Amino acid sequence: MDNFKQQFNNKAADIRLKDDEKSVLRQRLLTYMDYHPLLEDQYLQSLHAKRKSFFTTTNALMLGRVAGALSLFFIMIVPVLAEKSLPGDALYPVKISFNEEIRGAFKSSPYKKIEWETERLERRVAEAKLLADSGRLTASKEEEMAKAIKQHSNAAKDSIASIRESDEDEAAIAEISLASALDISAEVLVGNNSTTTRASSTTSMLAEAVSQARASVNLNSNETSYDKLMARIESETTRAYEYLNGLGDSISPEDKASIDNRLSNLKTRVNDAAELKATDSKQSTAILVEVLGSVKKVISFMTNLDVRNNVKIDNLVPVASTKDEREVLKEAFTDSELTIGRVKAGVTKLATTSTNYIDISNGIDDYNGIHASTTKLLDDGDLSTLKESVNQMVNIANGLLNNLQVLGIGFDIDSQESSD
């Protein structure tokens, strides 16, 4: 019998879930749990059950009314009031130690826990901003909040580490989300929006805490699977467009156009990454990591009023260069060089003492100055600066050529060029 069992079991033991199947299955289950969380009122129900037995031995009616009113006050009203509190307020400890801890306890998966710790970090930054703006941010409060920011970012990193044990891709993606949130918080604290009063000097300790937390998040694109990144970018971009369409009049047309422009730019960069995959997969994945972080920032800009009021989208998500845009600018750059060549040839036809000669020569000097700085930007410089510089070069070159033609020597230039 033992022989049969052993033979039978040896065959059966070969049947098992592969590691990736198990990981996907676990993920599916966690997602199911996220969408079907434990009922939140279970906690309250259990409290109610405990109190019930106590009431049976006392004057239940009277005590029940008093306790009910007190319970309502402490369980329902105080936490609601506490949500609006800031450091230094009497109810702030309730917000931190009760409200947030209870909400955190109901976050069922490591992913939810990371999101929650990130949100807590953003809440601390928002509180600091409000205190700073009202002149109530003292050094001790700032120190306390810097400590809290560090705690929340460490808690998020711990959860990421626990995910990494079973799924490196998801951990890497969670890290991208955390890095984006920290970038946004840094922007909010540094405050690049000139339309609001900034309090950067009073929040330097917090900015330092956020900066340190950000520095410790290592975005290693080598760890992340190309397909998973693509899938996540697809779902996040869809979400971003849904938010954009749902914003209505709550956002200015300029901001809306700017967001739309950024999302289009990110889409083009995804296409660039797809093309690059065959020849340079590392660079391709690095682009996707950056794009995912940017999409998250755009979503945060749309959904978080505090971010929208304090940060410029240009600073949060600069329009990055895409292969096509850069190529077009390079072509315009080369065209302007040809044009200025014709101008240089044409200006020799003018008397060196004439005003026209001097004006056009000055124009050529201007062009040369911009040309030198623009050349450095061509391959990997900031796209918007490159665009501005190339436009200037094209305008100057075309303007000078036009002036020569008005002076009646355009035909001579073309003749000379063709004879060359």
Partner 1 sequence: MVSREKNGQISGSQEERFLQSFDEYSDALFRHAFIRINDREKAIDLVHDTFAKVWTYVRGGQEIDSFRPFLYKVLNNLIIDTYRKKKESSLDSLLAEEGVSEGSFDDLVDDSVESLIATIDGRKAFDLLDLLPDEYKEVITLRFVDGLGPKEIASLIEETENIVSVRLHRAMKALKKIIAQQEDLADQKRQN
Binding site for partner 1 (CB under 8 A): 1, 3-12, 15-17, 21-22, 25-26, 28-29, 32-33, 36-39, 42, 45, 108
Contacts of 406 (CB under 8 A, 6+ apart): none
**Min separation Cβ 37 and partner 1, Å:** 7
- Closer to partner 1 by Cβ: residue 45 or 238: 45
Q: DSSP string of 2-17?
A: HHHHHHHHHHHHT---
Rounded Cα gap, residues 60 and 57, in angstroms = 7
**Min separation Cβ 3 and partner 1, Å:** 7
Cα 123 to its chain centre, rounded Å, is: 16
Calculated CA dihedral for residues 363, 366, 370, 373, nearest 10 degrees: 150
**Min separation Cβ 49 and partner 1, Å:** 11
**Min separation Cβ 54 and partner 1, Å:** 21
- Closer to partner 1 by Cβ: residue 17 or 80: 17
- Closer to partner 1 by Cβ: residue 35 or 411: 35
- Closer to partner 1 by Cβ: residue 107 or 239: 107
End-to-end CA distance of the chain: 100
State the amino acid at position 306 in one-letter form: D
**387 within 8 A of 327, measured Cβ to Cβ:** no
**Min separation Cβ 42 and partner 1, Å:** 6
**Min separation Cβ 101 and partner 1, Å:** 15
**Min separation Cβ 41 and partner 1, Å:** 10
- Closer to partner 1 by Cβ: residue 32 or 411: 32
Q: Which residues of 225-234 are buried (b: 16+ CB within 10 A; e: fewer)?
A: ebebbbebbe
Cα–Cα distances in angstroms (integers) from residue 367 to residues 116, 162, 347, 402, in the given order: 54, 57, 14, 15
- Closer to partner 1 by Cβ: residue 45 or 315: 45
Q: How many CA atoms lie within 13 A of 348 on its CB side?
A: 8
- Closer to partner 1 by Cβ: residue 165 or 249: 165
Q: Residue 420 is inside which H or E element, if any? A: none
What count of other Cβ atoms lies within 10 Å of the Cβ of residue 132? 22
- Closer to partner 1 by Cβ: residue 26 or 84: 26
Tell which residue, 185, 189, 193, has the closest CA to residue 203: 189
Q: Residue 240 is inside which H or E element, if any? A: helix 226-246
Q: DSSP string of 376-402?
A: HHTTTS-HHHHHHHHHHHHHHHHHHHH
**Min separation Cβ 329 and partner 1, Å:** 50
